[in-house]
Each structure stands twice: as C-alpha cells, then as structure tokens.
Amino acid sequence: MSGILEHLNEPQREAVTTIEGPVMVIAGAGSGKTRALTHRIAYMIEQGINPFSIMALTFTNKAAKEMKERIMQLVEPGAARNVWMGTFHSIFARILRIEAASLGYTSEFTIYDTDDSKTLINTILKEREIDTKAYPAKYILHRISMAKSALYTPEDYCDNAEIQEQDRRANKPLIGEIFKTYNARLKRANAMDFDDILFNTNVLLRDFPDILYKYQCHFQYILVDEYQDTNYAQYLIIKRIAAMHENICVVGDDAQSIYGFRGANIQNILNFKIDYPEQKLIRLEQNYRSTKTIVKAANSVIANNKDQIKKTVWSDKEEGELITLLRATSDNEEGTLVANSIFGYKMSRQLEYKDFAILYRTNAQSRSFEQALRKQDIPYKIYGGFSFYDREEVKNVLSYFRVVINPTDEQALKRIINYPARGIGDTTWRKLQVIADQRKCTIWALLTSLNEQSSEFNMGTINRLRDFVTLIQSFQTLINKMNAFELAKHITDSVGIIKLLKEEDTIESQNRIQNIEELLNAISEFSDKQVDEVTGEQINIDLPKFMEDVALITDQDQKDDENADYVTLMTIHNAKGLEYPYIYIAGLEENLFPGIQSLSTREDLEEERRLFYVALTRAQTKLILSYAESRYRWGNITLSEPSRFIEEIDPNLIERTRKASFRGTTIKEDRGYNPFSGRGAWTFSGDKRYESSQRSQSASRTQEAPKTSYPKASASDFVFADADEIQVGMRVLHQKFGQGTVVKVEGVGPNKKASVDFDEGGNKMLMLKFAKLSILKQ
C-alpha cells in the first residue's frame, strides 16, 4: 500500500478510504481535517478514479489552492490539477457560464460585488423616491441576500406572510418591491450578484433535467469542506448533484459555525442524517494542533453553548504554557503591549515574526496594532478589510473591462461613462435611465441606437455619447485579437487614465498609478500562468477569461511569500482554517467581543462564542488574550469592561502576571455584576462634558472628572441607559442634541427607536442601538 495511508490515525484512515457512499466527518478543531481531505482525494486518484469526476468544494479559493498543492505532493501533480476544486461560487460560476443561455444570460455575464449591488439598490431607491434613511441599502441587501440564500424569488418574498410581517414591523414594507426591481435590473444588465450564483445554479439544476443529468454523471464524487457554513442554497445544489451516485463526503464542525449572519445553517449537518440514512459518521476528535491547555480552554468556553453536537476534543501534546491575559488602559496601549510581547517572545525564544498572529473581532481594530508595530519596526501584514480590488482606481479600470466584455453591465457603465470627464453628467445619465426604462431596453442598446434625429438629447450630448460608444466598440473588436494583458494595457492607455492621474501629480495620484500598474501586472501574470492541462502549452488568455472570476478573488487568496517574515493581522473570520504558534486575541471586551449586536438573542451570542472558540483553537503553542479599558469608537472615548468570554475559560488555565492581573483581584470580584443588567459601555460626549455617574469611580481612572455646562441638570444627574430602559415621558440626555423628552418608542431589540423632542434642536428619531442616551434621575 502506498504512503498515502501512513501517518493517519484510525478515524482519519476511515475517512480517507470510505470513498463510496455518504460520509459525514465531524472534525474537531485541529483534528487533521485538511489532512484527511487531501489524503482522501489523493487516495481516490490512486485508486484510479478520474480526477475530473471529483468535485471538492472549499470555503475560500486559498484553501482550494493549498489543498491542491498538498495533493500534488501525494500523487502525480497533473492528475491533482484536474480535480474540480474551488469555492461554491467559483465552481458554479464556471458552470453557469457554460450553461448561461438556458437561463437567459450570456456567458459573459458580470458578477456584481457587494458594492455594485449597494449602488444599484440606492439607484432604485432614488428613482422611487424612497428615503434612503428609512431604507438603508445595506439592510435591504441583507434581507435580499437571506431570501436568495433560502431560495426565495422576489415573488415568493412578497407572498410570504411571515416575511411581509417582519418587514412591516421593521417599518420597511417596500423591500419586496425593491427586491423585484433589483432582480429585474440585474437581469437586464446580464449580471448576477453573489447569491444569484447559487440561486441560479439551483434553478438550472431544477428546471433542466438534461443539464442536471449531465453534471450528475460528471461529478461522481463530491466533497464539501466547512459544511457547517453552507446555506440552504448550497445544501440543495449538493443534494441535487449527488443524488445519482450518493458518493458524498461532507466535513465540518458545528462548534466552528460562524457564518450564520450570512445564512449558513447548521441544520444542514443534521439534515445529512435524514437525507442519507445509510451515512457513515466519522468523528475526528484528537487535536494535533494545540497544547492541552489550549484545548481545555477552548472546551471550557464552548461548553457554555446549548446548541452543540457532543464531542470530546482532546490533545496528547504537552500541557503547555498557561494563557496570558493582558490588560491595557486604552486601545493604543493594547497595541503597544501586544507589540512588546511579540518582540519579547521573538527575542527570548528565537522565534520568527511569522509565528505570530493578532486576531480581532472587527477590521477597525487593526489601527492601534499597525501603529504600535510600525513604531517598533516589526513587519506585519493585514489580511482582509479593504481589498486591492476595492480601490477606486482599480474599480474604474476594471469597469472599462467589464463594459467592453458585457456592455449591458450598467453599474460599470455608470462608473466610466464620465470618467475621465467627457461631459456626460448626472442629468444625461438619469435621462438615459428613464428612456431605457420606458423602452424596456438596456442603456447600451439605447446608446448604440442614438443618431442625429434623437430628439431626447441636444446635439452636443449626442455627439459625446456617440464618441463614447465608438471608443468602447473599438475595444470590443480587439477582444479576440489581443491577449488579456495587451488589451488591458491598450484600454488604459487610450482612455488616458494614467495620463489624467499623472497630471494630478499628488502623492495620492501616484499611488493610484502604481495600483493600476499592479493590476496590469496581475493580468500579465495570470496570462503567463495559464497552461494547457493536457499539452502543457501556454494558452493565450483573453481579457474575458481574466475577468471571469475577478469578482470572486479576495485578498485572502493572494499568495503568501513563504520566505517573508511578518506578523499576521486579521479578523477571526479570516483566520478560520489557519494556525499559528502564538495567537493574540485582542479586544476582549463587552460590546465589542461579544459585539453589542449579538447580545439580544441566545443564538447570536452562541455564534459569537463559537467565533471565540475558533480564535482560541488557532493557537498551537501559546495564547495571549488582551483587552482595553477604554477605546476610541466613533471618534469618542468609550469605556469598556472585560469580555464575559474571559470568565468562561477555566481560570486555572490563565496566568495573571504583569499588567494582566485585574488589579490584584480575581476577575469575578472585579466585575461583580449581573451579566444581563444594564451592561454597556460608557460613552463620553464628543466634547467630554459629561460622564455616566454609574461606576464613575472606575470611569475617572482614565478621564478627568468633567464639568457640566448644562443649565438644568448636572451630568451626574444622568445615568447611562440601556435601550430597554427608555420609556415615553423620560427626560434624557443625548451627547449631541442635549436634553429632551421621549415622546414615542417603537421597534424591538436592536431596531428599537425613540422619538425625542429635544429642548434645542427639535424632534429626532434615534436608533437606540447607536444613540447613547442617559436618563435623568428623578
């Protein structure tokens, strides 16, 4: 037998060799899940299974790439390359491009990213004269996304009494209608948003039996990684394709389900048993990654969750060091403490910077760490947050490519039709929109049909529009004549974007030029990398090919320089699936982690706790937790309390030394409060004129006792209020609007709002989630 089965424990070997029939692998953190998956695929190939018939769905493109590389080390690399491996989105976008015609798209359809979708929503709102304050694009998009993930059409959405009731209660009854228009616009633009990729794949497999049959025959073996994070749409795709052979292996860990907010459904794990009664269940419970201390800590935390599949993750590595807890007085000090700590460990233990990662809950927290690391000349790299492809200039250039390939792509068209400025402004664009709507045609169709007789526009505008059309058409004729890089370069040159930026001649514009050059380099590199899998010849890659999954590329996918030595910074979500010897988990404060938005329901809090579990289990050797007693949020200093999650770790596993001690007492004594009574951060007003009288003793540790300048009541007469406590008739203090009287309260939970008549400044409707109100004691 080959070496593939060596160095596997018993359950792992079972997961690797059970290749026929449905298999569910419940894999605890660090239990060699990736190892099992890669070896399984290698084993299948070695058994003579055609790699093309294997579909392996991963959570990120990076994970797919890494798994491929690992499989290549086990079997003949050429074979490994032929496995269909990638994210749900990239694999099914690929299939949708092949089958686009069946669904009424062309294979050049554009994939809209969240930004495009948001802009489109806002356009629709403006057209319908709907108040964007009452209907935030982000919220609408979230509702639509959840609907699509659950396979609701706009019509289903409007017909569903429960959904309608929810929207009505949230004061947003128009969402269904907006959804309808939004989808119609996407279709008109020959575009899909992220959720459409999964939605439309389901439609394809549901309505076209011959196509379903084709892919059922094709994909005889299906593997799904991170199964706990799949949503209903993904679940059903898998179920449909796997129906013929039922050779399906899903791998997941309910304790690491952290994407509920985007529709992931742990239920999928439970459904597996029902859908495939003859399933084989394999549990990987031995953790090879972390010390006993770390595993015990993680277990003690997750035990607080009610929803979980029982399992026992254990480690037979050494006990390891205790967990260190760092207490900082401010977010900046937290940065410094962490940077010092990293430097200290690196020096005293002969480590490299790449042995360290700093994890946090929100991207905004990276700032203080960047500052501190830079100050100490510690190299670092941030993953996530603003992606290269999110940059304005990059988007503009990509929009040119998008329009050239798919001229009905309205979001891209809108972006570039007047960039660089060519006298086609907002008024003209709106006119175009209206006419296209009337004629039920695309804007591009309208543009190409304009002639001198078109009475809608004046002569000058018509000429400018026609010049633009000619420009785009001239690029279109080159698609098949030039490779991706040549055409991209040609377009950026002839449009004059670089020239425009050069004239601007600021540091900012020079940066932008560099980014555009970097984009062109990426295209060049992409073209060079594409090699025919059979002949080994280099394939000439055209621009449409490059653009195919640009929208699906994320920063996480960029290759790591193996030799580079830097500290890694990222959100915990981004850290999923990764491991580092030294892990710092920062910002362990109430209202930050767990986040304020997760406190209202048990389910949300439990997801937050799973997130903490994921963070803890990234560590191999040593965990360092930190929190700050105050931090800048929304430009104000906010005081905060240590996270309840710290308490949930078995206290015997934490060392309290140095600044880490809670002022020499135990955590319990320090915090003595009921976790569900009036918790909350104390926010100082922007001008620092008041503080909460509640626990003012601790508040004044970091802040001078401020003087009030309010005439009727002094600051100490106010007590910070939780949203639940606000009632009609109360006198309240707002950090900006001053004093007022509550006249109306509506909404529930995080959506609770209050209408307040302010003494100066009139009536305001405030989201209590954000407006930090204090109540006048009476």
- Catalytic, out of 172, 346, 576, 618: 618
| Residue 506 in the binding site for DNA (CB under 7 A) | no
Assess 188 for contact with DNA (CB under 7 A). no
Distance of CA 395 to the CA centre of its chain: 19
What is the enclosing helix (H) or strand (E) of 110?
A: strand 110-112
Least Å distance, CB 71 to DNA, is 20
Q: Give 3-state DSSP helix, strand, coil % of the chain, rounded to 5.
A: 50, 15, 35
453 counts as binding DNA under rule CB under 7 A: no
CB of 423 to DNA, least distance (A): 5
CB nearer DNA, residue 58 or residue 315? 58
635 binds DNA (CB under 7 A): yes
Which residues, numbered 673-732, are part of the site for DNA (CB under 7 A)? none
Residue 126 annotated among the catalytic residues of the structure: no
**Contact in structure between 249 and 224 (CB atoms under 8 Å):** yes
Instruction: Please report whether residue 88 would count as binding DNA according to CB under 7 A.
Output: yes
- Closest CB to DNA among 569 and 730? 569
**Residue 492 among the catalytic residues:** no
Q: How far is the CB of 329 from DNA (least distance, A)?
A: 18
Question: Which letter does DSSP use for residue 750 in this model?
Answer: G
First to last CA, the chain: 82
Asked if residues 520 and 513 have their Cβ atoms less than 8 Å apart, the reply is: no
- 426 forms part of the interface with DNA (CB under 7 A): yes
Q: Which of 113, 193, 196, 225 is catalytic?
A: 225
Quick note: the x/- pattern for DNA over 5-44, rule CB under 7 A, is ----------------------------------------
| Nearest residue (CB) to DNA, 504 versus 518 | 504
Tell me, by CB under 7 A, how many residues bind DNA: 49
Catalytic: which of 12, 13, 33, 291?
Answer: 33
Cis peptide before 594, with omega less than 30 degrees from 0?
yes
602 binds DNA (CB under 7 A): no
Residue 87 touching DNA (CB under 7 A): yes
Establish if 738 lies at the interface with DNA (CB under 7 A). no
Distances (CA, A) of 287 to 6, 98, 177, 229, 574: 18, 42, 50, 21, 21
Tell me: does residue 509 bind DNA (CB under 7 A).
no
Contacting range for DNA; rule: CB under 7 A; set: 18-26, 84-92, 288-296, 505-513: 84-92
Nearer Cβ to DNA, position 158 or 605?
Answer: 605
Q: Say whether residue 633 binds DNA (CB under 7 A).
A: yes
Q: Binder to DNA among 208, 261, 314, 662 (CB under 7 A)?
A: 261
Q: How far is the CB of 685 from DNA (least distance, A)?
A: 11
Using rule CB under 7 A, residue 503 touches DNA? no
463 binds DNA (CB under 7 A): no
Contacts to DNA from residues 371-390, by CB under 7 A:
384
Using DSSP bridges, classify how beta strands 654-655 and 323-328 pair: parallel, antiparallel or unpaired: parallel
Q: Which one of residues 363, 371, 509, 751 is an interface residue with DNA (CB under 7 A)?
A: 363
Question: Given the rule CB under 7 A, which of 398-406, 488-496, 551-559, 641-649 is the region that contacts DNA?
Answer: 551-559
Backbone CA torsion sign across 346, 349, 351, 355: negative
CA-nearest of 59, 65, 19 to 39 is 19
DSSP character at residue 22:
-
What token pair was written down for 151? 């396979």
Nearest in space to 313 (alpha carbons), one of 256, 248, 230, 250: 256
Check residue 515 for interaction with DNA (CB under 7 A): no
CA distance 616 to 549: 33
* C-alpha to C-alpha distance for 761 and 686, rounded to whole angstroms: 17
Counting contacts by CB under 7 A, is residue 290 touching DNA?
A: no
Burial of 579 (C-beta count, 10 Å sphere; 0-12/13-18/19+): middle
Is residue 461 near DNA by the rule CB under 7 A?
A: yes
**Helix or strand (DSSP H, E) at 527:** helix 507-529
Annotated catalytic, 226?
yes
Q: What's the Cα-to-Cα distance from 777 to each of 65, 279, 694, 716, rounded to whole Å?
A: 60, 62, 11, 9
Q: How far is the CB of 253 from DNA (least distance, A)?
A: 17
Q: Give start and end residues of each alpha helix (H) in 658-722.
A: 667-671, 696-699
Are β-strands 753-758 and 762-767 bridged in parallel, bridged antiparallel, or unpaired? Answer: antiparallel
To the query of whether residue 557 is one of the catalytic residues in this protein, the response is: no
Name the one range near DNA by CB under 7 A: 131-139, 217-225, 328-336, 506-514: 131-139
Residue type, 671: R
Burial of 355 (0-12, 13-18, 19+ CB in 10 A): buried
Q: Is 257 in the site for DNA (CB under 7 A)?
A: no
Minimum CB separation of residue 766 from DNA in Å reads: 8
Cα dist from 371 to 7, 351, 566, 569, whole Å: 44, 22, 15, 12
Nearer to DNA, 77 or 425 (CB): 425
Separation in Å, CA 288 to CA 333, 498, 554, 635 = 34, 52, 29, 43
Q: Is residue 618 flagged as an active site residue?
A: yes
Whether the upstream peptide bond of residue 420 has omega within 30° of 0, thus cis, is: yes
Binding residue (CB under 7 A) for DNA from 573, 659, 689, 695: 573
Alpha-carbon gap, residue 505 to 217, rounded angstroms: 58
Ramachandran area for residue 589 (φ above 0: left; ψ -120 to 50: alpha; else beta):
beta
Among residues 77, 78, 423, 678, which is the contact residue for DNA, using CB under 7 A? 423
504: how many CB neighbours lie within 10 A of its CB?
12
| From candidates 480, 510, 514, 597, binder to DNA by CB under 7 A | 597
- Distance, in Å, from the CA atom of 701 to the CA atom of 590, rounded to the nearest integer, reads 18
Q: Which of 14, 17, 18, 34 is labelled catalytic?
A: 34
Residue type, 602: R
CB of 336 to DNA, least distance (A): 17
Candidates 50, 114, 271, 300: give the one binding DNA (CB under 7 A). Answer: 114
671 is catalytic: no
H helices present in 324-455, as ranges: 331-349, 366-375, 392-405, 410-416, 426-439, 443-449
> Partners of 26 in the beta sheet?
252, 283
- Residue among 217 and 767 whose Cβ is closer to DNA: 767
Give the CA distances from residue 266 to residues 56, 57, 177, 256, 308, in Å, rounded to whole numbers and listed in that order.
Answer: 20, 17, 30, 10, 10
Under the binding rule (CB under 7 A), the answer on residue 428 touching DNA is yes
Q: Tokens standing for 408? A: 């009905």
Q: What is the CA radius of gyration of the chain?
A: 28
Q: Does residue 60 interact with DNA by CB under 7 A?
A: yes
- Between 379 and 762, name the residue whose CB sits nearer to DNA: 762
Does the footprint of DNA cover residue 194 (CB under 7 A)?
A: yes
Instruction: Mark the segment that binds DNA (CB under 7 A) among 423-431, 514-522, 579-587, 704-712.
Output: 423-431
CA atoms within 13 A on the CB side of 109: 30
The window from 81-89, 239-247, 296-304, 654-662 that contacts DNA (CB under 7 A) reads 81-89
The residue assigned the tokens 């399906």 is 248
Shortest Å distance, C-beta 665 to DNA = 30
Task: Give the shortest CB-217-to-DNA separation in angstroms.
Answer: 26
- Does residue 200 touch DNA according to CB under 7 A? no
Q: Which is nearer to DNA, 216 or 363 (CB)?
A: 363
Q: Which of 348, 350, 427, 455 binds DNA (CB under 7 A)?
A: 427
The token pair that represents 295 in the structure block: 């595993």
Residue 556 lies near DNA (rule: CB under 7 A): yes
- The contact set with DNA (CB under 7 A) reads 59-60, 87-90, 113-114, 122, 126, 132-133, 136, 138, 194-195, 258, 261-262, 361-364, 384, 418, 421, 423-428, 461, 552, 554, 556, 571, 573-574, 595, 597-598, 604, 632-635, 767, 770
Positions marked active-site: 33-34, 225-226, 256, 618
